[in-house]
Amino acid sequence: MSDKPADSEQTLQLLWTRVRQRGDLPGFSKVVSSILAAMRGEDDRDFNMASTVLSDPGLTQKVLRLANSPMYAVFGRDINTVSKAVVVLGTDAIGHLALGVKLIDGLSVASADSALARGEMEKAVLSGHIGRQVAAGASTRDAEEAVVCSMLHALGRMMVAFYLPEMWQQITTGGGMERARHVLGLGLDQIGRMVALRWGLPNTLVDTLKDLYPSALDEPLDHNAWLAAVSTMSLSCADVLFAEAPDSPELAAALARITEDYAGMLGVDASQLLLAVETAQQAARDDGATASRPQRPAGAAPVATAAAAVSGKPADAAQLLARGVADLRELSLTSSNAQLMTMALELLFKSLGFSHGALFQRIVKDGRYQARMCLGGKLQEIAARLTFEDAYQPDVFHAALANDKMIFVENARDPAFINKLPRWWKDALPTTRSFVVMPLTINRSPIGFLYGDWDMSVAPSKVEAAEVVPMNELRALLVRALQPQRPVEPTWNRR
């Protein structure tokens, strides 16, 4: 083995070549881009976040589980929809939750065939748990931001272990992390920051990925430096937890040393930091979605996809609708129009088990109706095609709007009914069996409508009499909420 330090440019060139050959960490960077776009957006920010999470059934369940965890018990609500989670907890908190969950999932897939990468992934997950517990105890800090920063602090390690295993072997067998700069020509935290920039992560997050070791400070750390210090400490604790035997004197001494070194820097008592580490260990053990997840045996069926997850209308749809409308009635007092419409669309979509759901807005100046929010399948990808003129045509959509009546079409494939369906609908949704149109009308003038359907992939369903009552209550609630603020067009995209 050469004692000459490696050339950093050659290391990076080899890393990018391997990334091009194998692709980015599977399933992670694309979703990260969607989540970050939703967090940065000006218009429809809440809906875009909810839509991004809802497009991934596994992510939806994990975000809802975390949103209902004891950490958020202070909100005193049963959070049963993603759009409600966004309203109650905030777009940024849900964005950080989603980033953390997708990072875990992406790394789990990436490391399935690499014991080296999997070990670093498990450390990253544990580091995230530690970061969350430390930040949760510091009331002025954002716990979910600390989770993402603490997990991503190991990004450089994971990239090297996954894409450059031969170099990672040299590092781990030749002196540990201290040898990384000699083997690679640059620090692991530098590699992590370069990868994060390449993925388009925010500069504020990238800044937290640098190693920040204990030092005597005259002034408190700013927000990013505090997160960098928490992340460095969390990963250091994860390292020793994996390196030393449980309950050994060596482990206790190492953790005590790390927490004492960082206590003053973080402004958190050393005993509180130790308690955070202990709590994080238990949380990591309890969380089946993190470390030590069993790998899928060869030949076993893959995890259900979004398409396979669709199961049709729930048996208790009427009760789900009634509870949801009661919830919305309370939240409508403090929610924006956009938030309220997002929650209403998701309520219908989930309670009735729709294959697709959409909110159409009337754009008066253009003389058209246009889908503004879409859920289910790939509907968001074809949203631009979901549009039609507002001038009356003899079809079922205009009939519902003109009469301000909710319409349910049980069999859209009935030859006797086919002529009442517009061309745009038949072209965009060729597999739909049944659908509902719920007009929203103010002063006898339609401003839009809610749409939901069941396609041929689910069991035949219909709207029952018990469901009509809460659906009409929902319609009335939305109209009342929109009416006082309505100018020429509804302000659905204002926050």
Provide the CATH number for the domain around residue 192. Answer: 1.10.3210.10
Q: Is residue 3 part of a domain?
A: no
- Residue 331's Cβ-count burial label (10 Å; 0-12, 13-18, 19+) is middle
One domain, residues 274 and 328 = no
pLDDT score of 477: 95
How does pLDDT run across 43-52, given as a tens digit for each residue? 566 667 777 7
One domain, residues 233 and 160 = yes
Q: Is residue 295 part of a domain?
A: no
Coil, helix or strand at residue 493? coil
One domain, residues 381 and 260 = no
Q: Give the CA count within 13 Å in the CB-facing half-sphere of 438.
A: 26
Specify the number of domains making up the chain.
2
Between CA 230 and CA 265 the distance in angstroms is 9
Out of 137-141, 268-272, 278-282, least confident range: 137-141
Average pLDDT over residues 33-49: 69
pLDDT score of 397: 97
What's the whole-model pTM score? Answer: 0.61
pLDDT score of 300: 34
Q: Which of 245, 264, 286 is the last residue of a domain?
A: 286
Task: Provide the residue range defining the domain that includes 474.
Answer: 317-485
pLDDT score of 200: 77
One domain, residues 280 and 332 = no
Average pLDDT over residues 461-477: 95
Residue 111's pLDDT band (cuts 50, 70, 90) = low
pLDDT score of 175: 67
Q: Is residue 491 part of a domain?
A: no
Residue 482's pLDDT band (cuts 50, 70, 90) = confident
What residues form DSSP beta bridges with 389? 368
pLDDT score of 478: 95
Average pLDDT over residues 375-384: 87
Average pLDDT over residues 76-102: 76
Residues 211 and 239 sit within 8 Å (Cβ to Cβ): no
Token digits of residue 68: 């209902």
One domain, residues 258 and 114 = yes
Residue 289's pLDDT band (cuts 50, 70, 90) = very low
* Residue 228 or 51, more confident: 228
* Residue 323 or 178, more confident: 323
One domain, residues 13 and 143 = yes
User: Residue 216 above 80 pLDDT?
Assistant: no
The string of DSSP codes covering 9-39 is HHHHHHHHHHHHHH-SSTTTHHHHHHHHHHH
pLDDT score of 107: 63
One domain, residues 338 and 236 = no
User: Residue 108 above 60 pLDDT?
Assistant: yes
Q: Is residue 115 part of a domain?
A: yes
Burial 348-360 (b: 16+ CB within 10 A, else e): bbbbbbbbbbbbb
One domain, residues 282 and 334 = no
Within 8 A by CB and 6+ apart from 242, the residues are 119, 122, 123, 126
pLDDT score of 394: 93
Coil, helix or strand at residue 399? helix
Average pLDDT over residues 371-386: 89
pLDDT above 70 as % of the chain: 82
Q: Is residue 426 part of a domain?
A: yes
Q: Which of 242, 264, 286 is the last residue of a domain?
A: 286
Average pLDDT over residues 226-244: 94
- What strands lie across the sheet with 432-442, from one edge to the other? 387-389, 368-375, 356-363, 445-455, 432-442, 407-409
User: Residue 309 above 80 pLDDT?
Assistant: no
Q: Give the CA count within 13 Å in the CB-facing half-sphere of 403.
A: 11
Provide the CATH number for the domain around residue 437. Answer: 3.30.450.40
Average pLDDT, the chain: 83
Residue 156's pLDDT band (cuts 50, 70, 90) = very high
pLDDT score of 71: 63
Q: Is residue 494 part of a domain?
A: no
Q: Is residue 493 part of a domain?
A: no
Between CA 471 and CA 354 the distance in angstroms is 14
Out of 57-66, 440-449, 459-468, least confident range: 57-66
* Residue 162 or 475, more confident: 475
User: Residue 474 above 90 pLDDT?
Assistant: yes
Average pLDDT over residues 83-95: 78
One domain, residues 261 and 192 = yes
Residue 275's pLDDT band (cuts 50, 70, 90) = very high
Q: Is residue 183 part of a domain?
A: yes
One domain, residues 361 and 465 = yes
pLDDT above 90 as % of the chain: 45
One domain, residues 339 and 274 = no
User: Residue 131 above 70 pLDDT?
Assistant: yes
Average pLDDT over residues 263-283: 90
One domain, residues 267 and 374 = no
Q: Which of 265, 286, 307 is the last residue of a domain?
A: 286
Between CA 452 and CA 434 the distance in angstroms is 9
pLDDT score of 5: 64
Token digits of residue 243: 């390196």
Average pLDDT over residues 458-486: 89
Out of 119-133, 398-412, 433-447, least confident range: 119-133
List Cα–Cα distances, 90 to 66, 86, 121, 144, 347, in angstroms: 14, 5, 28, 11, 18
